[in-house]
Structure 1
Amino acid sequence: MTITFITGANKGLGRETARRLVELGHTVLIGARDRARGEEAAAALGARYVPIDVTDDASVSAAAANVREHEGRIDVLINNAGVHGPVGGDPQDLTGADALAVFQVNVIGVIRTTSAFLPLLRRSDDPVVVNVSSGMGSLALTHDPDRPESRVLAPLYTASKAALTMLTTQYAKGLEGLRVNAADPGYTATDLNGHSGFQTVTEGTDAIVALATEGRGAGTGRLVSREGELAWS
């Protein structure tokens, strides 16, 4: 039985990923900061709720201890929790506090969670980490006028996803025995963008689910969309 832990799994991409993986036979652990929403999602999907706030060391450590006590290991860690931060406006109005709030979740939260859960991943025969990144962090896509990524001004979100993509490559190089990849969901209708995306939430989870269910020996250090592997740019 594959045991999968998903952060930010009470709604949006995280919840849909959880639903699909439960259907595929995974034991899914719903990681969420909001207890009421996390418990509701877990009950509805046939999963187990684990409280976690990826911005808080003590909360992340407690979540890892919870899983160690109940399941003893995880096979797949999906770092899905994310925030958008300021959109539009004048970039000169951005503050350090704005940047810290976005990077605390989108980058530092991934580091904090991955480090805490590595001992549990090391107990798996085939450990996998999936970081939910974005084409919004791609230099090529955000400069292509034919792509929706080029028409959004979100300095902190885009910078954080570029950082997360690079972090993925470094983990892939440095964490021997683990597959570490990044997923680009594409422009999906979620709370993060006011449901303006043209993809359904199911379409947006295609790459995440594919990376979470690949067989042993699949590649590492990749950025994958629902259309296939993307070049690092």
Structure 2
Amino acid sequence: MSQSLLIFAKILSPITSYLNPNTKPPTIAKRYKGKATLKLDIPQGVADLLLKGVINTDTRTYECIVEIIGDEDGSQSDTAKLVVLVAPSTPVCKIAGVAEYGQNINLTCLSEEGTPSPAYKWQSHDVNNVPRPNPPKTTDKNGILSLYNISKDTSGFYICTSTNEIRSAKCFIILAVMQPPMNKVSTCVILAAVAAVIIFGIIIFFYCCRKKNKPEEYEMGRSDEAGGKQLFCCHGIISSSRCAVTPTNNV
């Protein structure tokens, strides 16, 4: 019988090997002792690699190599991809942003574990825990629920479901949309009042400048019906005497 060498390996990392004919058992890499075994049936051309207690990190491509000693054309190999299915871990739900009127926020959902990668879906319930459609313009992609221009009606319960071929897991968020803090409102009111005072002051200033530069004085009078006197307004002062106008000589 021709001598042959059988090697099972992860790509670039040998796991076990066997030289035929040989009375010794297959050689197992140290890190795989107690985990990997090789089941052989040489006459039938069968060699099965058995792995015990597989975990997520065992997901990878494995290669079987057969070499016939002295036959350069007899080298053959093939690969197989092992996918260890892992149920999604309980996802973590978070709020990204400020839950205040008019804001845009994201609700995030993520499972740390899960193979194949989990798919995520958000469901919305109102404050009475009654299911409802997601608010308008909402997007739900890769575990991120984006909410725009939020208001009191956006408040409620939001449930995220993380699912793959094994099972599903859930988390939820209670969203309470609040009005902006009163200190922000007070600041806006104060700034508006200060701006109004400044604008009013500017108007008065320009009005007074125009009055000051007017070339001639004038008076306004009206009768005081109660006292029978004639009252006059001169230079903005009300009196019972007429204004004294001093002519200006042109030089």
Q: Please, what TM-score do these two structures have when normalized by structure 1?
A: 0.21
- By percentage of residues, which structure has more strand? 2
Per chain length, whose mean CA-contact separation is higher, i.e. which structure has more relative contact order (CA < 8 Å, sep 6+)? 1
Greater C-alpha radius of gyration: 2
